[in-house]
Amino acid sequence: MANWDDMRVFLAVARSESLSGAARGLQMDPATVGRRIARLEEGLGVALFVKSPQGYALTAAGIRMRDRAADAEEALRLAQDEAQGQAGGLAGQVRIGAPDGCANFLLPQVCAAIRDANPDLEVQILALPRVVNLSKREADMAITVSPPDAGRLTVQKMTDYHLHLAMRADLPTPATLADLAGLSLVGYIPDMIFDKELDYLGTLGADGVQMASNSVAVQLQMLRQGGVGIVHDFALPFAPELVRVLEGEVSLRRSFYLVRHAADRRSDRLGRFATALVAGLRAEVGRLESLAGLTGRPFAGDA
């Protein structure tokens, strides 16, 4: 009979679809993970995976076991949440996945404030240049710029945020969008844009960018070296040498959404953390955007 430790290994392989991926999360050797899966299949008398050079794909029996094991995992997590919540404050580990602009410029301050009020809480911020996969339990919750339309998930709008063109204050300011043609344009690597809401080239009437990165933080550093590009208003206080330009012609609004596993609605601990996260993020966006000011004049950020 399989024990819970066997199920933990099984779920890791099922979610990563590889021994190496599972081993990283489990902090085990891939060969050990492989032996554990082989022993589990032998004990059950059924194949759970189809092995190939492309990885480990679940069989029909494996899919049924994955669903049952995931339900058991959720029940265990809820039991732990209830026990940790009895002390009143938030405790245990919470991992948040977020696009790197949010992860770099907003979440450190927001999560530090939540941690100050809950010293037994451990917060992890997973910054990825792609959508975080909650179904594979890469994180407990995720912040996205487009609400997902599939999966057993709950979605909550957190806040709107704004973006404008920005460049160094000591460089000549473009008078019209046509003037951008003579400047070095900074933006995303086109084939690595993972969300349609991040594709700004159509707004600028541009065919491509001359300096590109899949990271918002790197793009900000590129702008500090010269050039012009779309910047989150909440990031501007971290680069006070940049100013907004062509505000009357380019002004974008996007939104952040909090995405959670549907089953986590039963977790009081994660629910309270989500409430604090939404309130904190909304306040921090407002604070930083107010520092950016309403004009293209330079300002002194406090970050």
When pLDDT is cut at 50, 70 and 90, the band that residue 298 belongs to is very low
Domains 89-158+255-287 and 159-253 share a fold: yes
Average pLDDT over the chain, rounded to whole? 86
pLDDT per residue as tens digits for the range 43-58: 888 999 999 888 899 9
Each domain of the chain, given as residue ranges in start order, spans 4-84, 89-158+255-287, 159-253
Q: Which fold has domain 89-158+255-287?
A: D-Maltodextrin-Binding Protein; domain 2 (3.40.190)
- Contacts of 129 by beta carbon, 8 Å cutoff, 6+ apart: 99, 100, 192, 194, 214, 215
The residue behind tokens 């049924």 is 64
When pLDDT is cut at 50, 70 and 90, the band that residue 73 belongs to is confident
With 50 as the cut, is the pLDDT of residue 229 above it?
A: yes
With 90 as the cut, is the pLDDT of residue 216 above it?
A: yes
CATH architecture of 159-253: 3-Layer(aba) Sandwich (3.40)
Q: What is the pTM of this model?
A: 0.73
pLDDT per residue as tens digits for the range 236-292: 999 999 999 999 999 999 999 999 988 777 788 889 999 999 999 999 999 999 998
Higher pLDDT, 74 or 275: 275
Instruction: Give percent of the chain with pLDDT exceeding 70.
Output: 91
The CATH classification number of 4-84 equals 1.10.10.10
User: Cα–Cα distance between 66 and 86 in angstroms, integer?
Assistant: 30
Higher pLDDT, 4 or 96: 96
**Mean pLDDT (whole number) for 109-122:** 94
When pLDDT is cut at 50, 70 and 90, the band that residue 71 belongs to is confident
pLDDT per residue as tens digits for the range 132-153: 877 777 889 999 999 988 778 8
